[in-house]
Chains A and B, each alone.
Chain A
Amino acid sequence: MINKGSKVLLEVKNLKAEVAGVAGVAGAEILKGVDLTVRAGEVHAIMGINGSGKSTFSKVLAGHPDYTVTGGKATFEGKDLFSLAPEQRARAGIFLAFQYPVEIPGVSNSALLRLAYNTLQTERGLEELDPLEFDDLVQEKIKVVEMDPSFLGRSVNEGFSGGEKKRNEILQMAVLEPKLAILDETDSGLDIDALRIVAKGVKSLLSSDNAVVMVTHYQRLLNYIVPDYVHVMDGGRIVRTGGKELALELEARGYDWLRAAA
């Protein structure tokens, strides 16, 4: 929901980034000046063709070491984002749901969730939960993504289907309760039932204190979670920003008309 008076969570200005370790190589720059402002309570969608820089933008915000920021700035609740290590950003309340979630054999889903949760609790000056207490909490949270409790005992994402992996990312979001969630193509590869579950899950986590940025190719997710802003990324820049009707227009007309304009 747009409320111009609400708190600015993320402010990105003229952000430029390249692949780490290739400084000076022509064409290495992927992000070529991105601007984005996200306030508490807002839902943003970033759309764009493959290779336009959406995942890179998401990962740069989360602090991925593959990329070097070469220009511009970003603040999160007023703090300089790029002075924070990835784990500090997570503890500050930034969450990235990965386009390609990693498998971690040997680490159970429940242990991962509990350790991550307790790290944040400590950061927030709150009590850690022991495994029994945490189990009560997580049993509630898995309902959000309609996941079978047996998934908690399994190794993180190991042997999960594509859809189960995406649901697992949203389960992590549900447990960690971030202020800003960036969902990178969480809807890709989902069948219609899984899409509905994921969308419903995300929607139930939204409040006037947090915000979500959804990177997506498709209009269909936006039928479930209606965005306040739709941004189109192309060639490492946001070339157009509009309301939810922009997504419909993209669905109908494709991207070419925008690219020509840009």
Chain B
Amino acid sequence: MRFIGKLGNVCIYDDSQNEECPDFEFHAGSSGGYGEFTFVYGPSAGGLLESVQFKIRTSGEQILEIHADPYFKVRHISLSGGIDDVALKVERINAMFSASHSIAFLLSVERSLDEEPDYETQMGRIVELELERVRNHLYVLHKLVDTGALGVASYQLQAMQEATNRVIGEACGHRYFFGVNSLNHVECNFEKVDLRYLKRFNSFLNDLLENRILIDRFQNNGKIDQDWLIGPTARASGRKYDARYDSGSLPYKDLGFSPVIERSPDVFGRFLVRGEEIMQSVDIIQEAMKKWKRKERKEVKVKGTGEGMSRLESPSGDMVYRVMIDGSKVKASFLPPSKANLLFFLKSVIGTIFTDFPFNWESFGIWISEIGVDTG
């Protein structure tokens, strides 16, 4: 049984749920010695893409204690109402994981209605999720390499990220899948998906791995090796945790999927897993596209009452949605991967030095937008 995280008051496991889940605080470490001082980083700072604040206690070099406040930019987003209206908001919780949020939401609605989506739709959803993974992993790698001041490689990764955005935009009309997903339907034309620009990604990654300066900053930085881990963080530590493998939400098994794992529970391992997963996702996309077929959208009648939950693998780990349906109205709540990853990040920071901080931060692929949401 593996622990996924806390949704509302409930502890979510891969195969069950349990009321009475303890609260988690965004805090790690302890301090109080002579000569220590606290400095504040954020909420708005050049090195941070999103607004978040860290209070870091140190005696000079080492980080002894850290608090994070991801709620400076908390948005109040009500996730209750008609399904289409809620879907419009769900896709804007975190643009970088918009397909993951939307598809997890729709899967849980379909479950609560006992509606099985068509096989072709499920394959279309897999293509979306893997394109999203490719884009996000390229972004994380770009940020890591950029932090290491490797200019050429960093720009090349950013060029690949932009190319992926264009592939998505061309196929689906929007670069972040907004307006694309609905019950039993994906409004994309995947015949237009051409990923030839990633053909030499393997040799690109190998060249990066020869760079000693980068590897020195990655290895043994941000170590975390514990049973509660999710996504690339878990897989870097040798754990075969992956909702594509252990949730059965989408037919990944028909594509011969098995998770990528490494045995390096640090920034280096997380970098490697993401790099390898880019190549794996390209293969999954090619296979899923063979089983996908474009279909016209058909109206799905929503009526009755019911409850449904779904779990899928976002680029940074398990994403869980739970919905309740009453008549044509839905009420949704969710557990984003960034919440757990922020806790892991804080724990892994203790004992590292501030120079290592940005590398470690980028390696977790955390999006504050999906933590700072109050659904009311």
Q: Is A bound to B?
A: no
Q: What is the interface of chain B, defined by CB distance below 8 A to chain A?
A: none
Q: What is the interface of chain A, defined by CB distance below 8 A to chain B?
A: none
